[in-house]
Structure 1
Amino acid sequence: MMQKNQIISMEITGMSHDGNGVGHFDGMAVFVPDSAVGDVLSVRIVKVNRTHCYGRIEQIVAPSPDRISPDCAVSRRCGGCKFRHVSYEAELRYKQEFVQSNLRRIGGFSLEVEPIAPSPQQDGYRNKAQYPVRLQKDGLCAGFFAPRTHEVVDCHNCRLQPQKFETILETVLDFVKKYEITIYDETMGKGLLRHVYLRHGQESGETMVCLVVNGDKFPHSDELVKTLLNCDQQIVSIILNVNTQNTNVIMGGAIKLLYGKPFITDTLCGVSFNLSPLAFYQVNHDGAQQLYQIAADYAGLTGKEILLDLYCGAGTIGLSMAHRCKQVIGVEIIPEAIENAVSNAAKNGIRNARFFCADAAKAAERLASEGVRPDIIVLDPPRKGCDAAVLQSVAQMSPDRIVMVSCNSSTMARDCAILRDLGYRMQKCRPVDLFPRTNHVEAVVGLCRV
């Protein structure tokens, strides 16, 4: 039996879905963070379970050909960039295998997935950042929570964010120091500033600054507005988001406008969208355009189809395909998202799209009562995947094709296996890298009715 603090020698032969290298010693799997496939390591065992254990690198005896020098000083502490220490080519190979492995192991599919679509950008691709702000032993810190802790890793120049975010963040922090603005203490529930939330429209250039506060006012707010506008002339929206709850949830429900308009605009796949602080929008603009293009290709649109967009959110996927089909019907259970979708369709003069608020089962009933049968259904579920009832409702509507866009290939494989039992065959699957240097990967699946 392996013992804690035991030192072992081993080779990393695989990569787990959470970005830890995997090797074996005496028949037991050992998971090692910050390792690469092909590494020969000296590893200290730090935790032992019945079927597997966890280790920490003591020495790299022989580095993997995949290994490179990390270009971020805090990547190991932050934990966001699981693959900052390997080449991008190796990262893509790992992610391709994640999706392929889940289809085989969880879904029982033998289909070979298509080659992964790389992200057009590997650095600076994120159009949104949420920085927790805290007072710690080293003073005022803003950055990202270390994994499984409430410790903030101080990081203003994250390589995943655009350069302008660093400048704006430091401007806010300098202002906070100058005017002695209180910082939120989650143990006491006191202090004002909780998070700095930044959003940027890649095509429009517009930038939003949103301060999440434990109150309904911000001292010297007029001066803050002037300071931020001097810092970046592309700032068109400065907002307070009020969150007075003692919770880990970042955003509250109330919005107070300090300057400009309560949203920014951006264009995705030729469609213009208004983006409020609470609106969902893919964080990798160019990667999202690639993702939606693949989804449209899998849908096989000819201009004659009725397309049903379940989990439609603000309508990004359905509206991006509206010019290629007869009609788009968007369904979402969140009323505010439906309002956004209706507004976005009107904003773009899209007349062949309609949206209503319902769950999938109610949507199926409503469409049946109207005598409408969708030719294609697009599913873009959250990480937990689709409920079994949703998949039953989808199958009852008998679309010719189903396109699933998933941010979690484990639940995707499970849901596709259920759809297989309901009469749908998987035709294609392609991973798409929307989150370079992290362990997350999107995938698109095309299914047809048997």
Structure 2
Amino acid sequence: MSFIVNQNDRLTVYVEDLTHDGSGVAKVEGYPLFIHGALPGEEVEVQVGKTLKNYGFARLLNVVTSSPERIDAPCHVFEQCGGCQLQHLSYEGQLLQKQKQVRDVMDRIAKLPDVPVHPVKGMQDPWRYRNKSQIPFSERNGEVVAGFYRSRSHHIVDTDVCIIQSEEADELMATLKREMLIHGVDAYNERTHRGMLRHLVVRKGQATGEIMVVLVTSKKKFPQRDAIVAVIKRVLPEVTSIMQNVNGEKTNVIFGNETICLYGKSVIIDTIGDIQFEISARSFYQVNPAQTEVLYRHALEYAELSGNETVIDAYCGIGTISLFLAQQAKEVYGVEIVPQAIEDAKRNAELNGITNAYFEAGASEDVIPKWYEQGKRFDVLVVDPPRKGCDEKLLQTILKYKPKRVVYVSCNPGTLARDLRMLEDGGYRTKEVQPVDMFPQSSHVECVALIELE
């Protein structure tokens, strides 16, 4: 490289692109610099920070020429908090960037330049959409702090308001910070491992209005428990469930293994479409039900069910997609590696009176071949894997048994593109990809891809 970028250099650069985590990308004679807070189309002044062999990082000092899509972020802690990455970009600009992100990986990783990537399905109101808040509490200089972690750290950015979570969560977070001191409840200190309250978790059924509050404590014995329960009921008289989860481990994991009901029911109910779901303190459930319905409707459309098909739902979780599919399929078989999720899925099927959905705990790559060996045959396979994508053994299983249609629901466009390439090399063809904005103001985007056997 003819031009050497050195630490602490001050440069004026042109921002060409955004990374998958929302940082601007500028190139200095081919050398990429990642710049938090910069937007494509901007000329910016930066100071170079860390430099590596193939790329470096720079701090935004000044926007010389601003993007027409730049706006003032409405959140007062946006620049410190790691929860959102794109509040400074107009919502229309966010949707365009997310479509571009998916298009880029389809071209670069999947090698599928001709596959249609449709415009991103966005929200009419992209605020206050989260039905679950996980709020860490701690102590700083004798005061209780609570809010959200700074990006790539465990430093809590103290705040009373988060405009992508429910107003109920905001109100309870602010009140507890005050009332904990009054009632002598210590916040947990990650460094010393002392203190009682580790996290406040608030879950809300968006369709039903039911609210669950979970107090994650470091010890089971919680002397001020009744006083804090009374505070919660006063602040949120509509609360239907108050739980205590005990986590005494020296860990970053939020939940421990023991959960105790302090008030009301141990579950709340929410609906996606016309399917009801029971949600417990530790259940996995999509945090944006309105957009989840959009996502699942597209998965159902791509499955092209007439009522005669037998369908596999790999990575089925608590049965959210399975129960959608079961309404239009002959039979649905769901598989999930977490046994508790399978128990939740069976209970949710019973709750909705659905009798043609069957669930089994285990790894998809082990259970699906067993089903084939038992003589079962499948027309459609739906996958909704974690961010790391499908297990390679599962992809090999798909290529071996060749269901005629695969519907791939993805929370990571990069691993989706990688897996599509493997399926394409095995005889499948990707027909189209529909991105859906499940997390407005963040850089994340989910997709549904339709894949058919040639």
TM range, smaller chain: over 0.9
Q: Which amino acid aligns with 1:158?
A: C
Once the 2 structures are TM-superposed, how far is the Cα of residue 304 of structure 1 from its aligned partner?
1.1
8 Å CA contact 1:120, 1:287 repeated in 2 = no
**What is residue 83 of structure 1 aligned with on the other side?**
86
**What is residue 47 of structure 1 aligned with on the other side?**
50
Once the 2 structures are TM-superposed, how far is the Cα of residue 370 of structure 1 from its aligned partner?
2.8
8 Å CA contact 1:381, 1:405 repeated in 2 = yes
8 Å CA contact 1:133, 1:142 repeated in 2 = yes
Change (3 A) 1:82 1:331: same
Q: Which amino acid aligns with 1:169?
A: M
**What is residue 15 of structure 1 aligned with on the other side?**
18
Once the 2 structures are TM-superposed, how far is the Cα of residue 168 of structure 1 from its aligned partner?
1.5
Q: Matches of residues 210-289 of structure 1 in structure 2 within 5 Å?
A: 210-289=214-293
Once the 2 structures are TM-superposed, how far is the Cα of residue 228 of structure 1 from its aligned partner?
1.4
Alignment pair present for 1:358 and 2:354 = no
- Taking the aligned partners of 2:268 and 2:124, their CA distance within structure 1 comes to 23
Q: Matches of residues 132-143 of structure 1 in structure 2 within 5 Å?
A: 132-137=136-141, 139-143=143-147
Once the 2 structures are TM-superposed, how far is the Cα of residue 289 of structure 1 from its aligned partner?
0.5
**What is residue 386 of structure 2 aligned with on the other side?**
382
Once the 2 structures are TM-superposed, how far is the Cα of residue 323 of structure 1 from its aligned partner?
1.0
* Range that drifts further, 130-139 or 421-430: 130-139
Q: Deviations over 1:427-450 (max 9, x none)?
A: 110111000000111011110011
Alignment pair present for 1:426 and 2:415 = no
Q: Secondary structure in 2 aligned to 1:65?
A: coil
One of 403, 406, 414 as aligned partner of 2:418: 414
8 Å CA contact 1:360, 1:393 repeated in 2 = no
**What is residue 183 of structure 1 aligned with on the other side?**
187
**What is residue 109 of structure 2 aligned with on the other side?**
106
**What is residue 151 of structure 2 aligned with on the other side?**
147
Alignment pair present for 1:308 and 2:312 = yes
**What is residue 200 of structure 1 aligned with on the other side?**
204
- Taking the aligned partners of 2:415 and 2:365, their CA distance within structure 1 comes to 20
Once the 2 structures are TM-superposed, how far is the Cα of residue 301 of structure 1 from its aligned partner?
1.2
- Taking the aligned partners of 2:244 and 2:398, their CA distance within structure 1 comes to 40
8 Å CA contact 2:42, 2:66 repeated in 1 = yes
What CA RMSD, in Å, does the superposition of the two structures yield over aligned residues?
Answer: 1.2
Q: Which amino acid aligns with 1:24?
A: K
Q: Deviations over 1:357-395 (max 9, x none)?
A: 122233223322332111111100000111110111123
One of 77, 96, 100 as aligned partner of 1:97: 100
Once the 2 structures are TM-superposed, how far is the Cα of residue 138 of structure 1 from its aligned partner?
7.5
8 Å CA contact 1:208, 1:235 repeated in 2 = yes
Once the 2 structures are TM-superposed, how far is the Cα of residue 312 of structure 1 from its aligned partner?
0.4
One of 150, 169, 188 as aligned partner of 1:165: 169
Q: Deviations over 1:219-276 (max 9, x none)?
A: 2322322221121122111011110000011111110110011111101121111001
8 Å CA contact 1:360, 1:394 repeated in 2 = no
One of 396, 400, 404 as aligned partner of 2:400: 396
Q: Deviations over 1:32-73 (max 9, x none)?
A: 111111111111111222222211121111111111111111
Change (3 A) 1:397 1:121: farther
Q: Deviations over 1:271-320 (max 9, x none)?
A: 11100111111101101000000111111111111111010010000101
8 Å CA contact 1:364, 1:394 repeated in 2 = no
**What is residue 371 of structure 2 aligned with on the other side?**
367
One of 298, 301, 320 as aligned partner of 1:297: 301
- Taking the aligned partners of 2:131 and 2:223, their CA distance within structure 1 comes to 28
Once the 2 structures are TM-superposed, how far is the Cα of residue 321 of structure 1 from its aligned partner?
1.9
**What is residue 2 of structure 1 aligned with on the other side?**
5
Alignment pair present for 1:343 and 2:381 = no
**What is residue 328 of structure 2 aligned with on the other side?**
324
Q: Secondary structure in 1 aligned to 2:452?
A: strand
- Taking the aligned partners of 2:160 and 2:296, their CA distance within structure 1 comes to 31
- Taking the aligned partners of 2:346 and 2:86, their CA distance within structure 1 comes to 39
Q: Secondary structure in 1 aligned to 2:25?
A: strand
8 Å CA contact 1:119, 1:432 repeated in 2 = no
Q: Which amino acid aligns with 1:37?
A: P
After the TM superposition, which segments of 4 or more aligned residues of structure 1 sit over 4 Å from their partners? none
Q: Deviations over 1:6-25 (max 9, x none)?
A: 11111111111110111122
Alignment pair present for 1:405 and 2:427 = no
TM-score, normalised with respect to structure 2? 0.97
8 Å CA contact 1:145, 1:152 repeated in 2 = yes
- Taking the aligned partners of 1:138 and 1:90, their CA distance within structure 2 comes to 42
- Taking the aligned partners of 1:165 and 1:27, their CA distance within structure 2 comes to 46
Count of aligned pairs: 450
Q: Which amino acid aligns with 2:63?
A: I
* Runs (5+) with no aligned partner, structure 2: none
Q: Secondary structure in 1 aligned to 2:316?
A: coil
Q: Which amino acid aligns with 1:180?
A: G
